[in-house]
Amino acid sequence: MRLEPRPASSVAASILWPAGAILATVVFSSLLVMIAGASPLTVFWLVIKGAAGSQFAALETLTRATPLIFTGLAVAVAFRAKLWNIGAEAQLYLGAVMTVVIGTGAVTLPSAGLIPLIMIAAMLTGALALLGPAVLKTKFGVDEVVTTLLLNFIVLLFVSMLLEGPLKDPTGLGWPQSKRVIAEAQLPRLIKGKRLHFGFILAIVSAIVVWVIMKKTTLGYEMRAVGHNAEAARFAGIPVNRVIVKTALLSGGLAALAGFSEVAGLKGNLTLDLSPGYGYTGIVVAMLAMLNPLGVIAAAIFVAGIFVGADAMSRSANVPSYIAEVMVATSLLTMVAAIMLMRYRVRWR
Amino acid sequence: MDANNGPEAETVLRLTGITKRFGPLVANDAISLTLKRGEVIALLGENGAGKTTLMNILFGHYTADEGDIEVFGRTLPPGDPHAALAAGIGMVHQHFTLADQMTVLENIVLGTRPLWSFNLGKSAAREKIRRLAADYGLEVDPDRMITELSVGERQRVEILKALYREARILILDEPTAVLTPMETEALFATLAKLVAAGLSVIFISHKLGEVQSVSDRVVVLRGGKLAGERRTSEATRRELAELMVGGQLPVNEIGPASPGDCLFELKGVSTRSMGGAALKQISMQLRGGEITGLAGISGNGQAALAALISGTLEAIEGDILVHGEKVERWSPGAALERGLGRIPEDRHATGMIGDMSVAENVISEAYRSPRFSRFGFLDWKAAAAFANDIIKAYDVKCPSPEARVRLLSGGNMQKLILGRALDGDPDIILASQPTRGLDVGAVAYVHARLIEARDRGAAVLLISEDLDEIQTLSDRILVIHRGQLSKPSLRGELSVMELGELMAGHGHDEGASHAA
């Protein structure tokens, strides 16, 4: 078996292959659903209803999509420059830590000043978390997959230490959780009484900003050039190492915003279950979006919808909600395969 | 060499109506040819003419859409790489397929017997190799490691490998590209012996001189079709060239040089290795209005020199002087700032970013200038306009500035690189293997642009492994061997054989590094 590059991928192919990937995911999940003893059609209907069938469901999906847009963008930016940032989870938690460090009363300012201050501080923290791996990569050629992945565990233990120590809420009845952020540090809800918050707007704006950076600026150009062919970029005088460091700062900052927005917009405080793996799911989101920043919005909503819908479905159809994770994981695999088949033709023999 | 290939000689290989399509592209269009016992045919054609596809079909790497292959009267099953080997066809690739950390003997025997019996019969194998080597003038010690061998010796191992497997038909793909003139002579002598022993040879080349001296018959391919077939003795060089190109040959006139000041100088520069030899305290001067040619066998430090001048390889000692001024920090950016135009050796790996568009590629050396960006925002209109200028001025065949560079042919890619490198009329130009893999038309075009640059006063360094190219274009010639330079010679001062001696390392001993 051999792969031959295709001369050019047509518009039709770039729609049909991803569509095929989704279809393959549906077929595969159907098999699992049938094994679980339910009818696939009912289950998928319940998933769709659970994700978008009511105002409550739709808002919940968008709420869940918010951190995924941030982590998806973080991954998309980094992967575009072939910086394999697997550490969005760590950067997310560090952003959240900085949010509670500043936002629980250490600084008192009106919202218009405090929120931007926290955002910038959170982004810097996340950026610094990725700076180390980026410098190790550019100076010594240390594989950033390893360093960023392992940093996730280090940071999670570090956060756990903070929550048992300096950041522990004295009124928290001994639970490992931080104090709640003050009112001025909270992001407003978009609709009164509903969970969807201003973080969603920030996420959409971030996606547009990232899209502009990638498309229109010299930095985006440099990042794409380095990602596609670092040797040629270097030959042309593009400062490859500096571009990698800048990419790391941007990526880490975006991931940290996910942590900021979850704490300041939704949860109000920091706990160890702030993120059910949003950093890792961001990789799926970015790949489904084929690294396109605007595509990240759609991909994040899609993935969030599967999770939210599967939760609702499992309550009524008696199929474990794990099916959501299987579907998301399968969609990643089929999408990666589809992207490859879009670019290459398989020759047997 | 036509000892026994009269019309009555046995046909050993017959290709009938071979057609292969890749999408809309017809790579081979109904090609038929026959090879007789004891015959050498040259397969002549430019890049993209279909030579490689045809050989890949013969070797079962591709399956032909139409047509048959018959070897020694038996039809070869399509798409089976083992069938061709078993039928007695051996191939010597342009890029050798030897395991470096094994001995000659191990490389030759590898794959002919199961691994568990590898050590059995080693002495018999050694004996057979010795005999083959002696019979055909392929002297090489069976017990040496491949890493210790010269390029010419490695090629002999490749040929021995084919002979050891009882190949009766030998295909050589551009075999002289990596050889010195002396090694080429030796190869031709070997071929003569093989043919006398009844083997048949297909010799793939685009060099007319060689084709004429080695073959009995020439088969010319052009654009996937059989353009013509001639008995070598009855064909003129011009006729073959025109068959290959399909029209009149463009001719470049090169007038006398009027050398000016030294614009670029290296003083005692050493580098680390770039795969080939490292540079050892070399000194050279490039003068305006002059093309300096650097000849040498592949791997003798050309890559390091090109990378050094391009700014991608640091000097570990010595000085770089541009316009007489010593440069403190040298990098690709510094080179561009000081007005160097650089044409890299490898278009795909270094020259262009295949997955980006033509417009994105042509601005890669200048995107930060006010011409293409303001406040960090790129002016895509200006980039597209610049791309269109280059497309027009250099006659690049491409659908639009938005087209992916990956989809362009090598010649068109090279034209884009030329356009980018020569934009703003740089007065120092590094051209590293600028015509490798290009067709005759594109070669003439690249040469014309380099001559033009010289005539307006630029200092041009031409690094090439093609001695013809060096001799045609260079006003002064340097020869590089194991990272050191010979004394410069003027145009026409040294013969091919004398240059060959220098390329092989003779005369490099005294004062070798103080060229210019």
Q: Are A154 and A233 in contact (CB under 8 A)?
A: no
Average pLDDT over all residues of chain B: 87
pLDDT at A18: 81
Q: Which residue of A has its CA nearest to B332?
A: A237
Task: Give the model's pLDDT for residue B2.
Answer: 45
Residue B477, helix vs strand vs coil: strand
Asked if pLDDT for residue B408 goes beyond 90, the answer is: no
Q: Is the pLDDT of residue B390 over 50?
A: yes
Least confident among B73-87, B101-115, B347-361:
B101-115
Please give the residue of chain B at the shortest CA–CA distance from A1. Answer: B61
β-pairing, B290-295 vs B476-481, is parallel
CB distance A332 to A287 below 8 Å: yes
- A225 has a chain B CB within 8 A of its CB: yes
Q: In this structure, is residue A189 part of a structural domain?
A: yes
Chain B nearest C-alpha distance from A228 (Å)? 7
Contact, B12 vs B35, CB < 8 A? yes
Distance, CA of B265 to CA of B276 (rounded, Å):
22
Whether residues A235 and B336 touch (CB distance < 8 A) is answered with no
Residue A327 lies in a domain: no
Domains for chain B: give ranges and CATH numbers: 40-50+83-245 (3.40.50.300), 258-339+426-516 (3.40.50.300), 355-417 (no CATH)
Indicate whether B512 pLDDT > 50.
no
**What pLDDT tens digit does each residue of chain A (349 aa) get?**
667 767 666 778 778 888 888 899 889 989 988 888 888 899 889 999 999 999 999 999 999 999 999 999 999 999 999 999 999 999 999 999 999 999 998 888 999 999 999 999 999 999 999 999 999 999 999 999 999 999 999 999 999 999 998 988 888 787 889 999 999 999 999 998 899 999 999 999 999 999 999 999 999 999 999 999 999 999 999 999 999 999 999 999 999 999 999 999 999 999 999 999 999 999 999 998 989 999 999 999 999 998 999 888 888 888 888 888 888 888 888 888 888 888 787 776 5
Residue A199 resides in a domain: yes
Please give the radius of gyration of chain B, using alpha carbons only, rounded to the nearest integer: 25
Cα distances from B332 to residues B336, B430, B500, in angstroms, run 6, 12, 33
Conformation bin of residue A21: beta by default, left when phi > 0, alpha when psi is -120 to 50: alpha
Burial group, residue B50, by CB count within 10 angstroms (0-12, 13-18, 19+) = buried
User: Which ipTM was obtained for this model?
Assistant: 0.85
Residue A284 sits in which domain range?
Answer: 65-290
Using an 8 Å CB-CB cutoff, list chain A residues near B336. Answer: 237
Q: How confident is the model at residue B15 (pLDDT cuts 50, 70, 90)?
A: very high
Contact (Cβ atoms closer than 8 angstroms) between residue B503 and residue B477: no
Give residue B514's pLDDT. 44
CB-nearest to B378 from A8, A217, A237 is: A217
Is A91:A126 a contact under the CB 8 Å cutoff? Answer: yes
Where does the pLDDT of residue B496 fall: very low under 50, low under 70, confident under 90, or very high at 90 and above? Answer: confident
Residue A296 lies in a domain: no
Burial class (CB in 10 A: 0-12, 13-18, 19+), B124: exposed
Chain B contact present for A216, CB below 8 A: yes
Position with higher pLDDT, A247 vs B348: A247
- In angstroms, the separation between the Cα of residue B364 and the nearest Cα of chain A is 6
Q: Quick check: B313 and B272 in contact, CB under 8 A? A: yes
First CA to last CA distance, chain B: 44
Asked if B63 and A229 come within 8 Å (Cβ–Cβ), the reply is no
A2, A229, A241, A242, best to mutate vs chain B, most B CBs in 10 Å: A229
CA angle A186, A190, A192 (to 5 degrees): 90
Contact of B416 with B358, CB cutoff 8 Å: yes
What are the pLDDT digits (tens) for B18-52? 998 877 778 899 999 999 999 999 998 877 788 88
Give the helix/strand (H/E) hosting B500. Answer: helix B496-503
**Are B350 and A232 within 8 A, CB to CB?**
yes
pLDDT at B445: 86
Question: How close does chain A come to B114, measured CA to CA in Å?
Answer: 23
Of A7, A232, A239, Cβ closest to residue B349: A232
Does residue B3 have a pLDDT over 60?
A: no
| pLDDT given at position B177 | 73
Whether A239 has its CB under 8 Å from any CB of chain B: the answer is yes
* Mean pLDDT (whole number) for B425-452: 87
Residue A210 lies in a domain: yes
In a domain, A18, yes or no: no
- Beta strands B290-295 and B459-463: pairing type? parallel
Q: Are B345 and B436 in contact (CB under 8 A)?
A: yes
Residues 56-95 of B with CB under 8 A from A: 63, 79
Least confident of A284-293, B16-25, B339-348, B437-446: B437-446
What's the rounded mean pLDDT across residues B309-313? 94
Mapped onto helix, strand or coil, the DSSP state of residue A229 is coil
Provide mean pLDDT across the span B222-238.
88
Strand partners, B325: B322
If you average pLDDT over residues B331-348, what whole number do you get? 92
- Which of A115-129, B131-145, B345-359, B502-516 is least confident? B502-516
Residue B228 has pLDDT above 70, yes or no: yes
Q: Decide: B505 and B481 in contact? Cβ < 8 Å.
A: yes
Which tops the pLDDT comparison, B148 or A135?
A: A135
Asked if B312's CB is within 8 angstroms of A225's CB, the reply is no
The reply to whether A345 touches chain B by the CB within 8 Å rule is no
Asked whether the predicted pLDDT for residue B383 surpasses 70, the reply is yes
Q: List the single best residue of B331, B347, B357, B364 to mutate versus A (max A Cβ within 10 A).
A: B364
Residues of B in contact with A237 (CB under 8 A): 311, 331-333, 335-336, 364-365
Residue A313 lies in a domain: no
Q: Which residue has the higher pLDDT, B263 or A321?
A: B263
Helices in B111-223 by DSSP H: which ranges? 122-136, 151-164, 181-196, 208-214
Work out how many domains chain A is built from and give that number. Answer: 1
Task: Identify whether A113 is part of a domain.
Answer: yes
Which chain B residues in 436-465 lie under 8 Å from chain A, judged by CB atoms? none
| CA-based end-to-end distance of chain A | 5
Is B241 near chain A, with CB under 8 Å?
Answer: no
Q: Which residues of B touch A7 (CB under 8 A)?
A: 23, 407
| Residue B101, min C-alpha distance to chain A (Å) | 26
